[in-house]
Structure 1
């Protein structure tokens, strides 16, 4: 559905007197956003004046070619059954015209709404349903109070009122809230507006291509935003003016997909009772009504990496538990088009806008018919003219005892519940013949048998895959709320490092960690920031950390994480007062420096590439996922038969570079942490427990494929 260029919000009034010349509450206020720009709210003293303003705006927008959504804060319909009692039919627009022919109004505000309500009550047995009046001794057909009115045949509230949790009833004419009087004085105005060129009424009329759409709204949906705006404005603003302004702003910020989700797939009751635009979507509207961007997550605490007092060597499980407890997402949510969302992390669960399949359809090329109309024996059915094809449905009903040509994917026509495969029939002379024994519903797919409209199809925190994009597209989702990409800065430290491909002097080595870590971060769908190689110079490292903290959400360093003279990462984090050095009981890799630098978490990894990768996979991977909004992710492991033998000492958990061959886990020939070739050779890790262990050929061992880490 196409979006709207302009949005109008009208706060209506049923007052019997003219509003003061000075703008005041409880009058008519109009909020307007044109082409994304909010206009000053319009104050109207009478309904006649307001209708003139609205008519002019509709004409101006139509002439300028701008599509307008005009919304009004009173019900567009009554509970099911009211229209039939009053007009003899179920069309709510006939009731609009009925009221338009009877309601009178004036420039002074004087009107006859109680007379008309009394005439409407005469169509019902017993007192009501309209109640409430200004004088006890007038309009005897209108009860003064609600007591004694039985809302048994006619409900007191509409289905949309229940969904939106609206407290008021469209039958209450007096005593705030006077919604019932607003309806009586508003619907005649809408009946006149409806007759203008290009105007459609949602949800009673086709509206997808209408240049002007009139819809019902309820400001209570954005009550949190209204309260916030009122509290922030120190000038004692008029609530009604604030309300229409920020509600118009919220509606103008809805995407075409969001509007479509609100305006389609409504319950059957909406055909007669109308519907409140945004009912069930109040939280979204309230957010869009705010001027500010989505709030930033709270900062991490300085002690987020703290271990219990007295802990020396930290077991792997304790280290993981501490990370999980101390961290939380640090990225904001953002909107993203579905085609661009692969690898992004959902900030909110994705809800199907439409069922899949949307209608019952055929699973094969063949012929469709009503199973209950089959004659005894082998059926011979005459064919109706035409056919049903995917995207070209049959416009009509298939009579009982007849069949229709139907193709794979075509919507099943009215009068059809079973399809027979073309190869199982013989066709000739405008008839088909086939053997008896077909089951009812054969070769058809039910509407929603895959996904029902409104169902959550993907949970919050999911990293979206190409298959997820297909699922969202198939269920009508065009945009999703995702987290912004986590920005991860990578720094290598050490005088001994030179860039790969450069000239290395005696005692120097090529920097292997930085390209490895940057590539891994990108593979995780995060934004990798290359901060370069920093020599063993504390001032230079401080400047690099300052730069990284200003540009990234997280910082990964390699080297300098221990407690030696040239271990500057640990030293600087200690100076900053947010340093924890974990001596983790694992092999390879023991020192892991953790801390905050200007609010950004820092993971100080070992300098050895093998240890750096193992620590990244075991510790940084789940931590970064949590910071990125994906939640804490445990790698998927499998128990495989050992293709090696090993005697392991107690005290440290060990990770061996491994791969699967012939159904067994084999490990790299050398456990030396300097053997970088083993990382390339391996396809996963074998994890050996903290305790002592003796592994023999064929024993079960825990194998974690690199794919579990998205490596």
Structure 2
């Protein structure tokens, strides 16, 4: 199997020297693990490529370099130009005949010279110079040249340009001429194999790539700012380096001996996944408690989590129709003003305010009307009016509208009383949202209102964070699947369906890892599996320090376990740690305690991990419909509901009473200090809805 040690991607340019300042539409190069490099012209680029190849060979490393221009032309071109079917014959011909300097080259003259050898007109077209060429049309007026418009791979690659176009936005014809000349010198002077024309048995491989295959990843990165070309080379180098060798070998298994091929074509989803923007992982010691800390107050525990957690998921672009519940990864700027043009807010008649008298007004009507989507094509003379319908663009010469109900019209004139202010019953262009304004800030969870706003300002897709994957695992020999036959001493696993449901209610992908027995090796295997499938692991049971508490024992063995003894009721032990780089939240095994700890700790923590930022539930004060004497030292959460404007609490505070979770509609939060609560005293009630349920 072919393996490479280093991966480099080059975004080529056929234009002139672009100066010392990094800019778009220039040459950019990036080796995976390094920052993108700006190369101002092809002389600099060729020197840099030689240095890279020399360095790799000196170190005995295998180097793959991808270039974003076609290595070949449609079948038949090589023979028509050189008399051979060999693509390298074309490379040799181009290198011999191209005159290229940092200040200019003869690529258009070369295309004219080639076209002269073909019948009809073409196959090359576009001329950006003032000088005319006999055989190179400025516009695509080609005919009868006998060549296919696309290579087989270009026809498959959505959005790929034909190699015959010599200039213009997105064109690659000039890049091919200037690029092949450089590559031909390098391959003839150094130990290089060119894919797919040669067996890759040399230390260096040249391959053809196309950043369009990872366009969704590039667009997400571009939304954060910077130069698109730099993002392209960085992300594609990352993607190629991240591919398993077997998968890369599969991508390289191509038979295209004359036309060439685009590496990764047909594997776009995998390339985008490998290129995805992923933040750095959490540190293994991120849950470490300060020295001497034993019992931790709830607010202190929450503050430590808030300070230590960050987004762990990558980014992607999704269509608006698939974006509900997703978290916006970058500020969404208005592409178009809303409204895009001044329009009318009502059905009525529009006119110029300057023509209105103080008393009764009678204005002649122009023929026609302005309706939503069908604007009036013309100017309304001053002193005239026109029929306008709600949402219609205001015609030129109209700045004020009178309501249908406030006027009389006979088809030739309209009569109404004066006194309207200038701009009455109209909307200004951009009064809701101006072009370039932040319509929706990054970190927003997209609801139907945000999707409507995104659509109204011109977005069909939005950059979002990948959905957080939450692996849910229950532990303990005493557990059996709900609905199964329970033996002596066994109980049904209530936590897993509850926690999976919570994860999905919060917009995450629940990954059900099942139940783990009280066997350390079995639990280790399940955790290993969960770490490959999820971004966070949520477990229940085994979080204390007993003989059968294997979860906490395994996390300690991994050197990333912290038992947070939270001053909280219900719930006390919270095992936090890292497993193969994935954060683990070890919840109590009791369903009530697991539920409360999920709402209070796991929900804001997972929100931070998902890119939505830290969330704090909103509560409000209501009179108590109960009495209670509370001891100091622990914060308490009582299952509660509102009836007649007062907070009732469940009859039993026992954490084994699962029915209380269903009975309740929220939680009453009692502070850390002692309290003596009488009926009618104000208590803080947090409805389930404030926890995202």
TM-score of the superposed pair, with normalisation by structure 1: 0.67
Give, in whole Å, the separation in 1 of the partners of 2:339 and 2:72: 36
Name 2:560's counterpart in structure 1: 578
Give, in whole Å, the separation in 2 of the partners of 1:33 and 1:642: 72
The verdict on how the C-alpha distance between 1:35 and 1:57 changes in structure 2, with shifts beyond 3 A counting, is farther
Shift of 1:459: 1.3
How do 1:76-155 and structure 2 match up within 5 A? none
Q: 2:106 aligns with which of 25, 38, 49?
A: 49
SS for the counterpart of 2:562 is strand
Name 2:587's counterpart in structure 1: 605
Given the alignment of the two structures, is residue 476 of structure 1 paired with residue 530 of structure 2, yes or no?
Answer: no
Given the alignment of the two structures, is residue 415 of structure 1 paired with residue 386 of structure 2, yes or no?
Answer: no
Deviations 1:282-317 (A, max 9, x none): 444421233221453222212111111111111111
Name 2:651's counterpart in structure 1: 669
Matched pairs, number: 528
SS for the counterpart of 1:467 is helix
How do 1:372-521 and structure 2 match up within 5 A? 372-375=354-357, 377-521=359-503
Q: Is the 8 A contact 1:641 1:698 kept in 2?
A: yes
Given the alignment of the two structures, is residue 11 of structure 1 paired with residue 15 of structure 2, yes or no?
Answer: yes
Shift of 1:691: 0.6
Give, in whole Å, the separation in 2 of the partners of 1:58 and 1:341: 49
Q: 1:690 aligns with which of 672, 675, 684?
A: 672
Shift of 1:253: 6.1
Shift of 1:326: 2.1
SS for the counterpart of 1:565 is coil
SS for the counterpart of 2:349 is strand
The verdict on how the C-alpha distance between 1:553 and 1:389 changes in structure 2, with shifts beyond 3 A counting, is same
Given the alignment of the two structures, is residue 330 of structure 1 paired with residue 312 of structure 2, yes or no?
Answer: yes
Shift of 1:45: 1.4
Give, in whole Å, the separation in 2 of the partners of 1:236 and 1:490: 57
Shift of 1:8: 9.6
Name 1:654's counterpart in structure 2: 636
Shift of 1:523: 1.0
Q: Is the 8 A contact 2:217 2:277 kept in 1?
A: no
Give, in whole Å, the separation in 1 of the partners of 2:478 and 2:127: 69
Give, in whole Å, the separation in 1 of the partners of 2:331 and 2:486: 51
Q: List runs of 5+ in structure 2 lacking aligned partners.
A: 1-10, 19-41, 47-66, 75-86, 143-160, 171-185, 191-205, 239-274
SS for the counterpart of 2:417 is coil
User: Aligned-residue CA RMSD in angstroms?
Assistant: 4.2
Q: Is the 8 A contact 1:421 1:443 kept in 2?
A: yes
Q: 2:525 aligns with which of 543, 549, 558?
A: 543
The verdict on how the C-alpha distance between 1:502 and 1:301 changes in structure 2, with shifts beyond 3 A counting, is same
Deviations 1:489-548 (A, max 9, x none): 111111111111111123211110000000110111111110101121112111111111
The verdict on how the C-alpha distance between 1:486 and 1:685 changes in structure 2, with shifts beyond 3 A counting, is same
SS for the counterpart of 2:576 is strand
SS for the counterpart of 2:532 is helix
SS for the counterpart of 1:573 is helix
Shift of 1:617: 0.7
Q: Is the 8 A contact 1:13 1:26 kept in 2?
A: no
Q: Is the 8 A contact 1:489 1:552 kept in 2?
A: yes
Q: Is the 8 A contact 1:250 1:286 kept in 2?
A: no
The verdict on how the C-alpha distance between 1:434 and 1:646 changes in structure 2, with shifts beyond 3 A counting, is same
SS for the counterpart of 2:423 is coil
Q: Is the 8 A contact 1:33 1:252 kept in 2?
A: no
Deviations 1:255-307 (A, max 9, x none): 79979xxxxxxxxxxxxxxxxxx999644442123322145322221211111
Answer with 368-377 or 508-517: which moved more.
Answer: 368-377
Name 1:343's counterpart in structure 2: 325
The verdict on how the C-alpha distance between 1:454 and 1:535 changes in structure 2, with shifts beyond 3 A counting, is same
The verdict on how the C-alpha distance between 1:656 and 1:35 changes in structure 2, with shifts beyond 3 A counting, is farther
Q: Is the 8 A contact 1:8 1:71 kept in 2?
A: no
Name 1:643's counterpart in structure 2: 625
Deviations 1:617-649 (A, max 9, x none): 111111111111111111112122222221110
Q: 1:355 aligns with which of 313, 334, 337?
A: 337
The verdict on how the C-alpha distance between 1:37 and 1:562 changes in structure 2, with shifts beyond 3 A counting, is farther
Give, in whole Å, the separation in 1 of the partners of 2:188 and 2:633: 68
Give, in whole Å, the separation in 1 of the partners of 2:676 and 2:110: 87
Given the alignment of the two structures, is residue 196 of structure 1 paired with residue 139 of structure 2, yes or no?
Answer: yes
Give, in whole Å, the separation in 2 of the partners of 1:57 and 1:614: 75
Q: Is the 8 A contact 2:370 2:393 kept in 1?
A: yes
Give, in whole Å, the separation in 2 of the partners of 1:523 and 1:57: 63
SS for the counterpart of 2:289 is coil
SS for the counterpart of 1:379 is strand
Name 1:370's counterpart in structure 2: 352
Q: Is the 8 A contact 2:217 2:317 kept in 1?
A: no
Give, in whole Å, the separation in 2 of the partners of 1:215 and 1:700: 71
Q: 1:618 aligns with which of 600, 603, 611?
A: 600
Give, in whole Å, the separation in 2 of the partners of 1:37 and 1:612: 63
Q: 2:230 aligns with which of 263, 286, 297?
A: 286
Give, in whole Å, the separation in 2 of the partners of 1:281 and 1:189: 40
Deviations 1:338-372 (A, max 9, x none): 21111111111111111111111111111111011
SS for the counterpart of 1:544 is helix
SS for the counterpart of 1:434 is strand
Q: List runs of 5+ in structure 1 lacking aligned partners.
A: 1-6, 15-22, 73-185, 200-209, 218-232, 238-244, 260-277
Name 1:269's counterpart in structure 2: none
The verdict on how the C-alpha distance between 1:494 and 1:254 changes in structure 2, with shifts beyond 3 A counting, is closer
Q: Is the 8 A contact 2:642 2:648 kept in 1?
A: yes
Shift of 1:48: 7.4
The verdict on how the C-alpha distance between 1:280 and 1:522 changes in structure 2, with shifts beyond 3 A counting, is closer
SS for the counterpart of 1:651 is coil
Q: Is the 8 A contact 1:658 1:667 kept in 2?
A: yes
The verdict on how the C-alpha distance between 1:479 and 1:304 changes in structure 2, with shifts beyond 3 A counting, is same
